[in-house]
Structure 1
């Protein structure tokens, strides 16, 4: 399998274990690494967008 696909799969599995507070903490910890509009949305959808942004930066 593609290494990037494996990494994204791992992100999704980890996401399932995060509480709402955990998501807020994750967004806070990443700070200036991601755009502000992504940091301000700690919902499940927002966190997936945040993780996608991290994957895009790794390219």
Structure 2
């Protein structure tokens, strides 16, 4: 399990390595103005990440 970063570049949610290297795009619409903390790690399945969120109910764009 590796730690990752979930960020927005422009309007696109992306996954970055712990050192800031762009690894790919997220296909879920994350809220760029969320107030909580996302814990992103590599998942057991290839090309997937696990997201855990600590904060108010504002992670997803609906």
Same fold by TM (over 0.5)? no
TM-score (norm 1): 0.28
User: How high is the TM-score relative to the length of structure 2?
Assistant: 0.28
Greater strand share, 1 or 2? 2
